[in-house]
Amino acid sequence: MLKDKRALVTGSTSGIGLAIARALAAEGAAVILNGFGEEAQIAQLCDELGASYNGANLMDPAAIAAMMEAVGPVDILVNNAGMQHVAPVEDFPPEKWDAILALNLTAAFHTTRLAVPGMKARGWGRIINTASAHSLAASPFKSAYVAAKHGLAGFTKTIALELATHGITANCISPGYVWTPLVENQIPDTMAARGMTREQVVNDVLLAKQPTKRFVQPEDVAALALFLCGEAAGGITGANYAIDGGWTAE
Ligand code: NAD
């Protein structure tokens, strides 16, 4: 389905991004991985997926520009890299706020602005932004993340309108809780912020949000991303797809 397509998936050395990269590669796309990790593990992933790799730090706009130059034209851009920090607003470290905004929101602006001219020239493109249920609803102690993800949803709608007549779609996928390192790593801070045990955080904070009482699977998010890359999804743009076990239905 994607044999002649080149796909850059940011933050694809782990979690949701890796699942999306696997799904696109399985359909024949030439995938470019990005993200951090051990050299040997990344080399193995490149082998497995027939992918290439660019390890740019997406908090740095100059590094993003260098990556986009090195990577060359892409048909599919998945802005997926993200991070979280959990703390009450009065204790929220300003440097964490800046980092979360830079990675979860501003990086998508830079990759998009640099990818769009090539997509326009070829009259085809797919931009998929991994937002979050937190692009649609808030939770306490996640001020930077919720602000960034709401911003990403607004950015996506705006570029969808700008690109609508160019054969380029732009959509958000908004997962609920998916069991990845990003979720696992926020458990200790959430325990501290809420005075809870680990089990209480999993059951009373994370899964409490999801009527299904199940974590969403990375492969399910990837299947939705793959659908959005297909021709049948050519009429879908500016949408924000929740895949959150019913969280934002409440
Ligand atoms: P993850 O921690 O498993 O993966 C994050 C990826 O981003 C990794 O590949 C990491 O190396 C990369 N990364 C981190 N900092 C980077 C930087 N400065 N430059 C380049 N790459 C960097 O997390 P995940 O859960 O798979 O999250 C992926 C996306 O999904 C994020 O945008 C996250 O906000 C979003 N999301 C996750 C969940 C969830 O429950 N896991 C829910 C909703 C949305």
Structural domain includes residue 199 = no
CATH assignment at residue 107: 3.40.50.720
Task: Quote the pLDDT of residue 111.
Answer: 99
Structural domain includes residue 146 = yes
Domains held by the chain: number: 1
Per residue in 197-218, is it b (16+ CB within 10 Å) or e — as a string? eeeebbeebbbebbeeeebbeb
Q: How far apart are CA 22 and CA 219, in angstroms?
A: 9
pLDDT mean over 153-169: 99
Task: Quote the pLDDT of residue 82.
Answer: 98
- For 185-198, the pLDDT digits (tens) are 999 999 999 999 99
Structural domain includes residue 90 = yes
Q: With bands split at pLDDT 50, 70 and 90, how would you rate the model's confidence at 200? A: very high
Structural domain includes residue 209 = no
Q: Can you give the residue range of the structural domain that contains 135? A: 6-176+217-243
- For 205-233, the pLDDT digits (tens) are 999 999 999 999 999 999 999 999 999 99
- Mean pLDDT of all residues in the chain? 97
Catalytic residues: 145
Q: How far apart are CA 37 and CA 227, in angstroms?
A: 28
- For 65-118, the pLDDT digits (tens) are 999 999 999 999 999 999 999 999 999 999 999 999 999 999 999 999 999 999
Alpha helix stretches (DSSP H) within the chain: 15-26, 39-49, 61-71, 94-101, 107-122, 143-163, 181-194, 198-200, 218-229
Q: Ligand 1: distance of its center to the CA of 60 in Å?
A: 16
User: Residues lining ligand 1, CB < 6 A?
Assistant: 11-17, 34-37, 57-59, 80-83, 103-104, 130, 132, 175, 177-178, 180-183
Q: How far apart are CA 73 and CA 118, in angstroms?
A: 6
pLDDT mean over 111-139: 98
Per residue in 27-37, is it b (16+ CB within 10 Å) or e — as a string? eebbbbbbbee
